[in-house]
Structures are given as C-alpha cells and as structure tokens.
Amino acid sequence: MRYFVLIIILLLSYNYIWGQSPQKLRISQLKDNFYVYTTYKDLGGYMFPSNSMYLVTKEGVVMFDTPWDTSQCQPLFDSISARHQSKVVMAIVTHYHDDRTAGLEFLRNAGVMTYSSKLTYELCTEFNEARAEYIFTKDTSFSIGEYGFETFYPGEGHTRDNLVIWFGKQKILYGGCLVKSTENKSIGNIKDANMSEWDVSIRNIIKKYPKTKYVIPGHFDWKSNQSLNHTLNLLKQHKN
C-alpha cells in the first residue's frame, strides 16, 4: 500500500512538472527599483528569451524596450500594478527589431509616452515595425521622479540604430542586443549587423562608461558584468 501511494504521488508530481505550459514572463529585481523582465518567443520549438528592463519611480514606471511576446504586455502591466501600486508612464526602445518594439502599440493605447531615436523611428517605418510616438535626435538625458538616465548611441553594431541606456548613479548599463551575454557562445543574429563597426561601438561604450556594476544584454543571462568584453571576444572569434 505504501508503495502504491508513493507511485501515485510520483505520477502526480511528474504530471505537475511536465504538464506546465512553458514560462512566458519572468521578472527579476536587479537592484532597488530596477527590474529585468524577460519574455519568450517560440523559435522552432525553443523558447528564446528576450530581456528588457523597467524602473519604478515616484512619477510612475519607465520601461526600456517592450515585451517580444505581445501577449505578455497585459500580464506585465498587471504584475507591475500589483507589485508596485504604480503604472507605466513612459517607454524607450533601443532599436527597431520586434524583440524591442513589438509592444509599442499596446503601450501607446494604454496612454504610455513612447520614445525612440529618429533613426529607429525611420527603420521601424522602413521595416514595418511598430513605432514610438516621440523621437529624439541626439543622445538625450531624461529625468523622471527621483531618477535620471541617458541614451547613448555608440555607433553601428547589431543594427544601424542600436543604442544603450546608462543609469549613471547606479552604474547600470542597459546594453540591449548590441551586447551579448557571457552565456552566448557565438555572435548570434547578424542579419542586419555592421560587422566591421560593431567592435568599435563596443569600445566606445567601454571608453564612455569604464565602470559598470551591471550590464544587461538583450538576451540570456545577465548576472555577469563582463558581457562587453565577452562581446569583443565573440566578434574577434567571428572574424577569424
């Protein structure tokens, strides 16, 4: 009888573990009011993760890039409102690909002020991606509530328009897809990349922000802050 019960428990837990649908949204606290959220896209049966960030301020929540999986926009909003009793008021996208921009329409309809660079806006138009409502034409500093951050365009790399976000006080660099995770073994999607300028752009970032505490890449693990150097190594490896 004991064994019978044990087998039933094992069967039930097996079903519990394997019967779950794949994870669609993961939210992790980076530090204080800074969060990394990840959504997933089914690429040939593999749930490919895409990292974005949000920051909770006294004036509301700022999002850096949108969910890739737009079905996760509402769950993300619900989670933000439940966790922080706050709502999203502003969003900035860091390049035109849909892993950054897919949720822009949802955000705009929700009354969020959405921003991109002029170049990103133009590329979104050219490649039929969702566009931000407001554009900036050069590196821009934003201040909202008690926080400040700046956009920096270091040159071409993963795409022509990729930019990074720098939170100077906290030394957090949101690198987006220009920066590869230390978990990556190769340079990845280079369909729209500039392979001769990418390493120059990474060096421009290192020169401008030599002391980073956190570096958040567009995909995969972000626990290491060595991803800028790792990206340089991957680019070198790709050249050889």
- Tell me which residues are annotated as active site: 95, 97, 99, 158, 189
Least separation in angstroms between CB 216 and Zn ion: 12
Can you tell me the distance from the alpha carbon of 70 to that of 228, in angstroms, rounded to the nearest whole number?
Answer: 29
Query: Which strand (E) or helix (H) includes residue 39?
Result: strand 34-43
Residue selected from 182, 218, 231, 234 as contacting Zn ion according to rule CB under 5 A? 218
Nearest-angstrom CA–CA distance, 168 and 106 = 29
Task: Return the SS3 of 185.
Answer: coil
Q: Least distance in Å: CB of 50 to Zn ion?
A: 6
98 contributes a contact to Zn ion by CB under 5 A: no
Stretch touching Zn ion by CB under 5 A, among 10-18, 148-156, 215-223, 229-237: 215-223
User: Closest distance between Zn ion and the C-beta of residue 176, in Å?
Assistant: 7
Edge-first strand listing for the sheet containing 147-152: 141-144, 147-152, 164-167, 172-176, 214-217
Q: Which is nearer to Zn ion, 88 or 177 (CB)?
A: 177
Of 174-193, binders to Zn ion (CB under 5 A) are 177
With respect to Zn ion, which residue has the nearer C-beta, 157 or 218?
218
Q: Kindly tell me which of 50 and 151 has the beta carbon lying closer to Zn ion.
A: 50
Q: Helices 198-208 and 227-239 meet at what angle, rounded to 10?
A: 160
- Please report whether residue 99 would count as binding Zn ion according to CB under 5 A: yes
For Zn ion, the binding residues in 6-45 under the rule CB under 5 A are none
Mode of pairing for the β-strands spanning 141-144 and 134-136: unpaired
Query: What is the number of other CB atoms lying within 10 angstroms of the CB of residue 133?
Result: 14
Q: Report the nearest approach of Zn ion to the CB of residue 62 (Å).
A: 20
161 binds Zn ion, rule: CB under 5 A: no
Spatial distance between the Cα atoms of 203 and 45, rounded to a whole number of angstroms: 36
* Contacts to Zn ion by CB under 5 A: 99, 177, 218
